[in-house]
Structure 1
Amino acid sequence: MFEVLPHVAMLLVLAAFVAGFVDSIAGGGGLIAVPALLLAGASPLETLATNKLQGTFGAATATLSYARAGHVRLRDQAGMAAISAVAGAVGALVAHLIPAQVLRMVMPVVLVAVAAFFAFKPGLTDKDKAERVKPAVFALTAVPLIAAYDGFFGPGTGSFFMLGFVMLAGFGVLKATAHTKLLNFASNIGSLTVFIPSGATWWAVGFAMAAAQVLGAAIGSRLAMRIGARLIKPLLVATSTGMALRLLWQVWAG
């Protein structure tokens, strides 16, 4: 039996489908799933735990879709994924050390900057560019920082991974999207291992939402691979801007 009324559960499933679709292309699925869970009556801890559960399935689906198409080689990226998982767990463990209110004030500015970069930067295509840092340096600096942020706060993680892959690793937009989903999946797994023992997860609702996430992510990733940067760029700009506006609203409403 669901932890909420059946009609509320169905609305959460619908929200998860849309979140999985959007997240598989440009990130920002939490922008949809988290408010939906809060409106359904979940506490902040229940919301975070349940969102990580259902979001993990969507990220896994998108990762496998991109991997099957050759856009990411899972074996080659295993080390980077492991770093992301550990950092995600550490971030979840230390979440209480950094006031969320501080992040809510800082992150809108950062997200608007990310959106502006992808909106106005010329030459952003699916073709790779020259890398600015070596893969090992990227794995030991950018990856743990972003993954830890995902563990203790979360909004914009996909946007930040995308920015890192494009700006530092020299990836094309589609390849960056594929690798972003792998590292996002890993950081979700890491933080989920911290949330599960808390007992706050809505398991029935979470797995129902996970099934919808899988479907949405499968459709979204296929569409992204078919259209590429022409779809990913505008959706990334829209989701980053949307997250920034939501965080600003939280600051003003709070």
Structure 2
Amino acid sequence: MSESKYYLVEKKGHVAWVWFNRADKMNAMNPDAWIDSPAVFKELDEDPEIRVIVVAGKGGSFCAGIDLIGMVGAMPELMENEQKGGLKWKLLKKIYPLQETMSAMEKCRKPVIAAVHGACIGAGLDFVTACDIRLCSQDATFCLKEAAVGFVADVGVLQRLPLIVGQGVTREMAYTAKTIDAQRALGVNLVSEVFDDADALFEGAQAMADVIAANPPIAVQASKDVLNHSIEGSVNEGLKYVASISSNIIPSHDLIEAFTAFAEKRKPVFTGK
């Protein structure tokens, strides 16, 4: 397995655990997280011993979302005031690889289970909606955060979440950027099961993975392929469209204000510019 600076991969028989391994930053997704994901899941896809993958987070939370400060260096276009065509073209070409970070789980032939405890915010929610099955602990919270910081969510959640919870709940989460708890997540089918705590969650995820792994791999993988085929057109077209929209609305004064307020630890004041 190729070394990753962000992900920790552990194999338990036919099950691979992919850990978000940046606990000191609540597993916020820095450039390494975005770059390494496709290679990690491609290698697990090609590993004949692995039949199921579980994704989880080290420390107190699953994922606090995008590392805003860390990503500025990788995407300086976000902070440019000059909104010229050349800038938009550069930004558009940078969005497509970020989408692949999330699509990697969907493209992997092996079923991927997300085991969520603590916070699952922004990019973390993007990640789990690209997984096949979502489980969580009682302390789990979910937030589609992008609108609150001046972004349109552009790496897949707006395409995948409606297929899981429906249009109404997706629009509520996208427009309000509010946090929902584990019981609401269960009620809207975002998660399949809620466990008492993280330990019980990880045991439950392993148990479900073991059940899946005991089935004929070719039948399980063929089932995933057929299910993906039924939605891939709408997801792929949606990803291309949102990349174009995203590159057109950023950078904005509101986005720069969100970054500035975050750095200054104050509430942002948005003007719609």
TM-score, L = length of structure 2 = 0.28
Q: Structure 1 or 2: larger helix share?
A: 1
The structure richer in strand per residue is 2
Normalising by structure 1, what TM-score? 0.29
Structure with bigger RCO (C-alpha 8 Å, 6+ apart): 1
Rg bigger for which structure?
A: 2
